Amino acid sequence: MRKTSVRLADGRELIYYDADAVRDGVTSGDAGGVRDGVTGGATDRATGGSRRDVPDTRPLDPVATGSEIRRDPLLGEYVAVASHRQGRTYHPPADACPLCPSREGRPSEIPAGDYDVVVFENRFPSLAGDTGRCEVVCFTADHDASFADLTEERAALVLEAWTDRSAELARLPEVAQVFCFENRGAEIGVTLGHPHGQIYAYPFVTPRTEAMCRSAAAHRARTGGNLFDEVVARERKEAERVVLETDEWIAFVPYAAHWPYEVHLHPRRRVPDLPALDRAARAEFPRVYLELLRRFDRIFGPDQPPTPYIAGWHQAPLRDPEREEFGLHLELFTVRRTSGKLKFLAGSESGMGVFINDVPPEAAARRLREVASA
């Protein structure tokens, strides 16, 4: 993999990730690492010139953010207040997409005329400076594609970008947890149609992760076992909620799924975070994940629009002395409960945090097995 870091006109960092050295789903270095500091040399397929030294010529002012972290004294949870985000880009026309490569007379957030995968600091971050960092990950230069349309090679490159950024952000002293995720679909609230995800580097451990860590610690104190391992073992034994299983990964609908169609994807060998994944798991991930995404698009039938979803990696907190006990996993779910109907978080869910699921997890798993690729 080739990695090139540049600066945008307002000083934000942008990193190009190119697939020049990606082979069999892993980098030319060690299983969890990235060959850092390699710059230049790639040729722009659109312009024929060096695509990594194109300057950002936009007249941008330095990014001014007003992010503030406040703690709810009753719940013990943190809230990010970011009023500057009110002015962020909202559903621009395709020919003005800020995530497409730059063209003559139409500069974008990506100065180059083409790219493989690119990561850059968000211009309208929820977290910034001492309150963390927010980055945008563009999976492809093709505006009309989706993650499910990617080749396995490109999906492997995205995994390497997630891994590299997780490792780099973990080195920042203010960061306590790194969350790589994708929102897909207007129903989720996506305001830019270009296929992309985000990375949040939080200055605190999020409530979901804290809850998982508490449950895991209590389980270990009570039984001596690892909760993540035992959840996976239960799903393998009962089998009815397993969606797919390979030598390196297992995907299942959890026993107490919150969402109508929700899948958790675990590596067969437990690790705390993305940088700890071994070579075999990295090599097999693209095929497994692309299959899951393509099944999601087939849940509701061929005449339905693409399924909206949220996909995110749960990684161990960075400063937790018990972080090796955490089980890395990806959570994928949709807010669509049936054709033309969404699952809204109303009184019980939004007011009290108690989910009511309209689709039995066993039925959801059965449907996800039915729509497997031929």
Which of 137, 165, 132 is CA-nearest to residue 65? 132
Tokens 């949040």 locate to 200
Instruction: Return the biggest CA–CA distance within the chain.
Output: 64
How far apart CA 11 and CA 9 sit, in angstroms, is: 6
**Using a CB cutoff of 8 Å and minimum separation of 24, what contacts does 215-221 make?**
216/322, 216/325, 216/326, 217/322, 217/325, 220/325
Give start and end residues of each alpha helix (H) in the chain.
152-170, 207-223, 227-238, 279-296, 352, 361-370
How far apart CA 340 and CA 337 sit, in angstroms, is: 8
Residues ≥6 apart with Cβ < 8 Å to 287: 152, 246
Q: Where are the beta strands (DSSP E) in the chain?
A: 2-7, 13-18, 68-72, 77-81, 117-121, 133-138, 177-184, 196-202, 242-245, 249-252, 261-267, 309-314, 329-334, 336-338, 341-342
Among residues 196, 264, 314, 329, which one is catalytic? 196
> What angle in degrees, to the nearest 10, is found between the helix axes of 152-170 and 279-296?
120
Report phi then psi at 199, rounded to 5: -130, 125
How far apart CA 200 and CA 315 sit, in angstroms, is: 12
Residues ≥6 apart with Cβ < 8 Å to 335: 187, 188, 259, 260, 308, 310, 342, 343, 344
Q: Which tokens belong to 331?
A: 């959570």
Element (H, E) at 254: none
Q: Which tokens belong to 3?
A: 């990695």
- 84 classed as catalytic: no
Q: Which residues are catalytic?
A: 196
